[in-house]
Structure 1
Amino acid sequence: MAFEEVKENFSEAEATARSYIESSREFYKLKGFKVLMRGVMVFVKIASVGIMLIMALLFLSIGAAFWIGTELEKTSLGFLIVGGFYLLVGLLIYIFRHTLRKPLLKKFSEFYFDEI
């Protein structure tokens, strides 16, 4: 009799544990999907806005290069000046890349760990 009760309690405990593990697995699966999809959506938004900004910057740069070239009476100088400006901006970003890392890590860690 006592052996049957222990066996029954053990079976119930095993069933409860399996149910808990399965529920936990499904929960973390859904949570991971939610974080992944949020990341994908943020990437798509950033990519689409970024592409539009790059296109605008391209046309503004071409216009500025032609305008500077017209003012200096040599179009090639306008393009060289605009190109030099972008080289300078790229150099500054490279020099200060370590100061950019901390805010980016903080922002992405907040995004990821607040979701889990």
Structure 2
Amino acid sequence: MAFEELKSDLTDSQQAAKEYVESSAEYYKLKTFKFVMRAIIALTVVLFLGTFVMLAVFFLSVAASMVIGNHLGNLADGFWIVGGVYVLLGLVGYALRHKLESPVLRKFSEHYFEDK
């Protein structure tokens, strides 16, 4: 009788462990899916909005270049000046790139490790 009871307890424990592993695997699959979908949605939004922002910046840059060039009397000078501004902005962005890493990492950590 004690042997049968021990055998039953071991079978129940084995079954409970198996169910725990399966439910844990499903949980992590769902958590990973949620994270991946949020990343895909965020990337889609950034690409969509980024396209329109880049188009706006392009046309505004051309307009600014033409206005500056007309004011200076040489259209090419306007384009050189606007191009130089973008080079300076690029250099400043490159110099400050390390200050961007921490906020980006923190933001992604909030989304990945949130407990909802």
TM-score between both structures, scaled by the size of structure 2: 0.92
Deviation at 1:57, TM superposition (A): 0.3
Task: Give the fraction of aligned pairs with identical amino acids, expressed as a percent.
Answer: 44
Q: Partners in 2 of 1:115 and 1:69 — Cα distance?
A: 56
User: Gaps (5+ residues) in structure 1?
Assistant: none
Letter in 1 for 2:28: Y
Q: Find the counterpart in structure 2 of residue 105 from structure 1.
A: 105
Q: Partners in 2 of 1:24 and 1:54 — Cα distance?
A: 44
Say whether residues 1:31 and 2:14 are aligned partners: no
> Structure 1, residues 64-87: CA drift from partner, whole Å, max 9, x if none?
111111111111101000000000
Q: Which fold has the larger relative contact order, with Cα–Cα distance below 8 Å and residues 6 or more apart in sequence? A: 1
User: Gaps (5+ residues) in structure 2?
Assistant: none
Deviation at 1:6, TM superposition (A): 0.9
Describe how 1:6-85 pairs up with structure 2 within 5 A: 6-85=6-85
Deviation at 1:115, TM superposition (A): 5.5
Letter in 1 for 2:62: I
TM-score between both structures, scaled by the size of structure 1: 0.92
